[in-house]
Amino acid sequence: MAGQQQTQQQRRTPVRAKGNGQKDRPVRVVRIRNIRGNIWGNRLDDGRIVYNVTIDRIWKEDDQTDEAGAVIKAGQWQQSQSFGKDDLLVVAKVADLCHTWIYKTLQDRDQSF
């Protein structure tokens, strides 16, 4: 019975992208316009790498200026996981490109998909 099957949980260790800081970074980023797909890798105890994807929409806030138009504070980058109707086809394409990258990467490593 499916309810009686025991699943074996494996510990996942993040695969670190090459970067200067200590912060975990995606192993690959796919971006079209303001839609970004972040591909994260996790190494299992048996050595296999599994990939997960997060997709977000990014934008930059307007700069704050004084009356003369001089920039007082530069706008900060923001992100959201909410998408408008005009974003949906781009989200689908970013997801497709992420899937293609993961598939090719696993094929190159002779790892099952």
Report whether 97 contacts 105 (CB < 8 A).
no
Q: How much is the pTM?
A: 0.75
The H-or-E segment that residue 72 falls in is: strand 71-73
- Separation between Cα atoms, residue 48 and residue 38, nearest integer Å: 19
Report whether 30 contacts 53 (CB < 8 A).
no
CB atoms within 10 A of CB 16: 13
Q: Where along the chain do its domains lie?
A: 11-108
80-110 pLDDT, tens digit per residue, is 999 999 999 999 999 999 999 999 999 988 7
Which of the pair, 27 or 74, is modelled with greater confidence?
27
